[in-house]
Structure 1
Amino acid sequence: MAGAIGVFGYEVPLSVVLVLVALVIGLLLAVSLYVTISWSVYRSVVDDRRDRVEDGLREEMLEGLFADDPDWEAWVEGRSGTELTVAESLLDEFLRELDGGDRAQLQGLGVALGIPDRARRQLDAGDEFERLDALTWLTLLGDPEPYLAADFVPETPRERAATVTLLSETDRLEGAREGVSILLDGVDGQFTVFGQDTLYRVSRSNPTPLLETAAAAYRTWNEPLLAQVLAVCAQLETSVGDQDLSWLTAALETENEAIRAASARALGSFGWRETVRDRAFLERAIADPSPRVRGAVYEMLGAWGDQSALSILLYALVSETHPRAMERGTAALVDRRDRIDPETPAVLGGAWDWSLEHAEYNDLARRGTRVYS
């Protein structure tokens, strides 16, 4: 039969099939519309309830904040589910904004709301989102005990960072070594910006554990994680003793140009060490085929700032042809203009003039001086 489709041994006219398909699609659209409208109505009702109680609860919580001894247990008793939900939301807001005694005054409300007990359950049996929620609340409440009592061991980079933050904020972190261990031992994946910042805060006063861990494990890290650790090292700017920095020089000779550039920036912080100033190594670095890496190496030499480093930098700039690398190099040299020969500007020509103008403008801007009328 022309214009028919075989279904279970029967010939069904195509027009009938199309009508049935249209009916099914129409029914699905109707159901979708009904669900969407129903959900919107439900959310509107919930939001209206929340709005009606929020102002009153906010005022009561602020009164408790300034009371001598607020009885939060009595305050919570008899509250509706909507009120408790709104109170928890407001508590989250307040705890993120307050500190000191004001924050401690409100932390008791979190206990009355049962948040620490819930956090313990989430750490033992929740998914990653619930575990992160638990760690965040425990940090806000300044209460590490549910974490310490749980069987939870942080695994993902986000969990590791949240755990270190909790222990650090509650003075339960046993120094930089424990923090670095939690963050990096056996880590699989890269950190969020929050995790990278956590690694920096743990290491800034004592970089030794981070440098020792990196020297031992950097070959096992994926490139994004290695780049993050190098970025942290570049910001530390603290003195180091006899730690092994050969992993940094090795990273400067890898195939990935982003890693090489990040390594040069990190060496800018630790470059006073004679062990990283091998002449042959530096000659290879300034001859890197990537303008991005050469620019980072020039900034590294400028950060070192001694006569030997500045001489190598000037030598490299004389033959530099890439505009961006040239600009980064001359800017680094301008920052050290008090240490170079007065004839240097003539050698570099217009690139020096451009960088000097920008440096002077930035100096004026930082001092708050009006730089144009």
Structure 2
Amino acid sequence: MMMQGNVALFGQTVPVTVILTVLGLLVGIGLVVSFALTMGLSSYLAFVADRREGVRSDIQSELLNRAFGEDPDWGDWVDGLSDRERHVATELLGEYLRELDGSEAEPLRDLGTVLGLPKQAQRDLERGHMYERLQALTWLIRLKQPEPYFAASYEPSTPAEQAAVARLLYETDALASPAEGLEILLAEASQEFSVFGQDTLFRLASEAPDEMFALAIERYQTWSPALLAQVLLVCGQLGTSIRAGDIAWVTASLDHDDEGVRAAAARALGSFGWKPQLRDSMFLARSTADPSSRVRGAIYEMLGEWGDEEALTVLLYALVSEDDPRALVRGTNALVRRRDRIDTGAPAILGPAWAWSSEQASYDTVARGRTGTMEG
């Protein structure tokens, strides 16, 4: 039904149909203009991408020829590049430095210097926002040049920046000791690290395990659950390299409110079965009674890692009353790996779970044997 009536507009009486017609016309014009702008922008971006791809191919060819030639002579080449070409050369340099190292990367690092990347990194450290600062540190790591960091009036203010600074100084042998790197990494840390940060923590801790433990004892209660779990994971990899470290903070983490921390503590303790204080029967009974099936599964794997008669006996008795299927399988998997050390009655006691774990272990053994044969 056609809408009837008039509307007073700017002192004039205008029919509603006229207003609707004008609005429809304006909407139509807007859609046409929007479509035209979208198509124009798409065409422009496609044109730019095509030109850039052509530039990239030429720059890539010349860069590689010079990098693996006798004399790269980067200075004359870079001086002749346009801004677009310099940008493409910088992108390619970043890609190659992620893949190459050692003598192959050295000529490329020289290119980074000629492109002015260390100076730009120093400026970004002093005046850039967080993303720019992280990019600057990343470039300095790739170029193995800590000098711009030392020259800049800059202090890392986030866990990501602390990890990048620690990695830069570690990679360039600019640390007085690995313990200094741990201090940089964990000095003000409270939140979890990225994978890059955790890898840096592992590298430093591997070279200074006792110092890592000393820091953890002092500060573990101030860390977030996620960060504490990461540190526990790293410390579990240190194992018998810990000579004098007190593991009381690790066992205390088994009482943490966060189940992720408790599970991480159990995994870490799997490497410390040689410590006599872990053999306390009350400690083992409390651990296997954790309300979280995730934590109990980690405890079962810890006992399997220890692998001695007492630990395997505790594990077997705990599995008899385990009612969570996933935790039960994790426990039987750990037990099957030690089947040469346990009572032959275990299969009958554990039933289907033991059969499943045994079958998986047998399949794994066959698969590994085939892989070894093929590789050989």
Aligned partners of 2:200 and 2:20: how far apart in 1? Answer: 60
How many Å separate the matches in 2 of 1:228 and 1:282?
A: 24
Match of residue 268 from structure 1: 270
Deviation at 1:324, TM superposition (A): 1.4
**Residue in 2 that maps onto 1:56:** 58
Higher mean C-alpha deviation, range 335-344 or range 278-287: 335-344
Residue 83 (structure 1) aligned with residue 85 (structure 2): yes
Range 128-137 or range 222-231, more displaced: 222-231
SS at match of 2:291: coil
Q: 1:133 to 1:39 in 2, by over 3 A?
A: farther
CA distance in 1, matches of 2:18, 2:326: 68
Structure 2 Cα separation of the partners of residues 131 and 365 of structure 1: 47
* Equivalent position SS for 2:191: coil
Cα distance in 1, alignment partners of residues 24 and 163 from structure 2: 52
- SS class of match (1:173): coil
Paired letter, 2:166: V
AA in 2 matched with 1:146: P
CA distance in structure 2 between the aligned counterparts of 1:180 and 1:5, rounded to whole angstroms: 76
The one of 207, 210, 215 equivalent to 1:208 is 210
Unpaired runs of 5+ in structure 2? none
Q: Is the 8 A contact 2:210 2:244 kept in 1?
A: no
RMSD of equivalent CA atoms = 2.9
Matches within 5 A, 1:100-139: 100-139=102-141
* Contact 1:107-1:141 within 8 A present in 2 as well: yes
Cα gap change, 1:42/1:156 in structure 2, threshold over 3 Å: closer, same or farther?
farther
Q: Distance in 2 between matches of 1:25 and 1:218?
A: 62
Letter of the structure 2 residue corresponding to residue 44 of structure 1: A
How many percent identity over aligned positions? Answer: 51
Distance 1:166 1:104 in 2: 16
1:1-373 map, 5 Å = 33=35, 36-368=38-370
Please report how far the alpha carbon of residue 16 of structure 1 lies from its aligned counterpart in structure 2 after TM superposition. Answer: 8.7
Q: Describe the SS at the equivalent of 1:367.
A: helix
Contact (CA 8 Å) 1:257, 1:293: kept in 2 or not? yes
- Note the C-alpha offset of 1:185: 1.3
After superposition, the C-alpha distances for 1:22-51 in whole angstroms (9 at most, x for unaligned) are 788767766655554444333223222222
- CA distance in structure 2 between the aligned counterparts of 1:147 and 1:240, rounded to whole angstroms: 33
Cα 1:26–1:126 shift into 2, 3 Å: farther
Asked if the contact 1:364–1:370 (Cα under 8 Å) also holds between the matched residues in 2, the reply is: no
Give the direction of change, closer, same or farther, for the CA distance of 1:17–1:324 in structure 2 (3 Å limit). farther
Aligned AA for 2:245? Q
1:173-213 CA distance string (max 9 Å, x none) = 33331222122111242212222222122212432222222
How much has 1:65 moved relative to structure 2? 1.5
Check the 8 A contact 1:207/1:238 in 2, yes or no.
no
C-alpha displacement of 1:14: 8.5
Instruction: Indicate how the Cα distance of structure 1 residues 365 and 60 shifts in structure 2: closer, same or farther if over 3 A, else same.
Output: same
Distance 2:275 2:13 in 1: 86
Q: Are the structure 2 counterparts of residues 24 and 210 from structure 1 closer, same or farther at C-alpha, using a change threshold of 3 Å?
A: farther
State how far apart, in whole Å, the 1-side matches of 2:14 and 2:42 are.
41
Change (3 A) 1:247 1:343: same
CA distance in 2, matches of 1:16, 1:286: 81
Letter in structure 2 aligned against 1:264: A
Q: 1:172 to 1:331 in 2, by over 3 A?
A: same
Conserved in 2, the CA contact under 8 Å of 1:205 and 1:238? no
In the TM superposition, residue 108 of structure 1 has moved relative to its aligned partner by 1.1
Q: Distance in 2 between matches of 1:83 and 1:295?
A: 56
Unaligned runs of 5+ in 1: none
